[in-house]
Amino acid sequence: MINSTVAEISAALQAGDISSVEITQAYLNRIAKLNGELNAFITVCEESALEQAAAADAARSAGNTSPLLGIPIAHKDIFCTKDILTTCGSRMLHNFISPYNATVVERFNEAGTVLLGKTNMDEFAMGSSNETSFFGDVKNPWNTECVPGGSSGGSAAAVAADLCAMATGTDTGGSIRQPAAFCGITGFKPSYGRVSRWGMIAFASSLDQAGPITKSAEDAAIILNAMAGLDEKDSTSIDRPAEEFTASLNQPLKGLRIGVPKQHFAQGLSTEIEKAVRDALAEYKKLGATIKEVDLTNSHLSVSAYYVVAPAEASANLSRFDGVRYGYRCEDPVDLEDMYKRTRSEGFGEEVKRRIMIGTYALSAGYYDAYYRKAQKIRRLIKDDFDRAFAEVDVIIGPTSPHTAFKLGSKSDPVSMYLEDIYTIAVNLAGLPAASIPVGMANGMPMGMQIIGAYFDEAKILNVAHQFQQHTDWHKQKPGPIASSDEEA
């Protein structure tokens, strides 16, 4: 049962074929077996998870039919969880116990989910490989010599390896979609403002968005039902009527207009991924869709603009970590200035310090107009490109990443690492929703396809993704080295 989807586990719980305690214990056993190898979890909440599972079974016996009741979940360690360690993958917060829950966590608690633990991540969500965590590298379940992608690599690896039924992630420039592509699962980034950011430790406030990491588009829709909605504690949360994201999953695709950005099929894209995506487009044509090339003229500027905007916002957000109120503090400081300097120097990793310095420079007097203001203007041009495209098409489809997962330690140059998100960053700059779903295999590693929608078109993306998964089985492939067996269920 641990290799089942959320929809399948929910049906089994409802039918009484399995209890929440049984499925929770099965996942805990598998975490104990494999986490030492994968390093997907920073914290495992075994005792409280079994208590929550028992409470869920009692609630179901009393008549509660919530679809997520009793289903185990893992949260990326960027979400504050009351009375549980929340580290953000950093030495700076290695001892931080949050006094409150993030809104996303609270909504899952209200839905009756069972928290298995907190997943590993790139430090403060800064990275594309999950190699910047203070708690060590996360390994890809398909090949433990490869990265799982970042920054939500712990969540992606956990779902792919059947360590949990579902997980949360955050996406600032591709940090849900790229790990989903590398690990052969489904990752969904909602529109900016669709899901509350309150209690989610900020990296870049105008870009960060929480979303689900799952085994299927159907599961993503079920989970988004619980995650989405107005939060008055979050000033960036959008007030929109509640949607049932599963309602239109089975809508036929006849007449669907798919845009294919020519910029995403240029030099640098592996031939295997290009073929896989074009084969997927052919499948969509069989389902009644039409294909049209679209021009995202300014997409080549997205990486440059992002690495001004995101570090600038990070330099402001991370200024709160000073050793005074919580988190890491250096030993025996000489004075206040010495404490500030040494705490931040010792508490932050190299990539975080690099981005703080870039952001501070871009915001400094004399450089603000030359860098930050210009980057924001480019951001607007990128959004305008998408607006023009969506006047002609319903969704945009292309590769999620230019290649499959790369070897651990193979990218020591920061710029080459920044280019990992070349197809995903523009979506965050424009605030749009997008998903990555499995589209094939190359040399034993999964490949991902990105589906982008117009603002608040989550339901349409999920419909397009689900219909593809109804006619293909790429999302059902399992990593051979650690494939789960029936005996573990």
Known catalytic residue at 374? no
Alpha-carbon distance of 448 to 435, in angstroms, equals 10
Alpha-carbon distance of 454 to 458, in angstroms, equals 8
Alpha-carbon distance of 215 to 4, in angstroms, equals 8
Task: Spell out where 190-272 has E strands.
Answer: 210-214, 257-261
- 3-state SS record for 32-63: HHHHHHHCCEEEECHHHHHHHHHHHHHHHHCC
Residue given tokens 């239109």 in the structure block: 248
DSSP structural state of residue 475: G
Instruction: Identify residue 154 by its one-letter amino acid code.
Output: G
Dihedrals phi, psi of 258, to nearest 5 degrees: -105, 130
Alpha-carbon distance of 83 to 461, in angstroms, equals 36
* Contact yes or no for 191/243 (Cβ under 8 A): no
Find the angle CA(308)-CA(314)-CA(317) to the nearest 5 degrees.
145
**Closest CA relative to residue 404, chosen from 41, 119, 76, 129:** 129
Task: Give the β-pairing of 445-453 and 290-294.
Answer: unpaired
Known catalytic residue at 129? no
Alpha-carbon distance of 438 to 248, in angstroms, equals 21
Known catalytic residue at 304? no
Burial class of 51 by CB neighbour count within 10 A (0 to 12, 13 to 18, 19+)? middle
- Here the tokens at position 1 are 């049962």
Give me the catalytic one of 175, 191, 216, 436: 175
Give me the catalytic one of 4, 76, 129, 299: 76
* Contact yes or no for 171/421 (Cβ under 8 A): no
Give me the catalytic one of 151, 191, 216, 484: 151
Dihedrals phi, psi of 441, to nearest 5 degrees: -130, 145
* Helical segments of 90-141, H only: 103-111
- Here the tokens at position 167 are 């997980």
SS3 396: strand
Burial 419-446 (b: 16+ CB within 10 A, else e): ebbbbbbbbbbbbbbbbbbbbbbeeebb
Alpha-carbon distance of 385 to 297, in angstroms, equals 7
**Closest CA relative to residue 224, chosen from 4, 469, 458, 464:** 458
Q: Name the strand (E) or helix (H) holding 434.
A: strand 434-442
Would you please indicate which residues are annotated as catalytic (active-site) residues?
A: 76, 151, 175
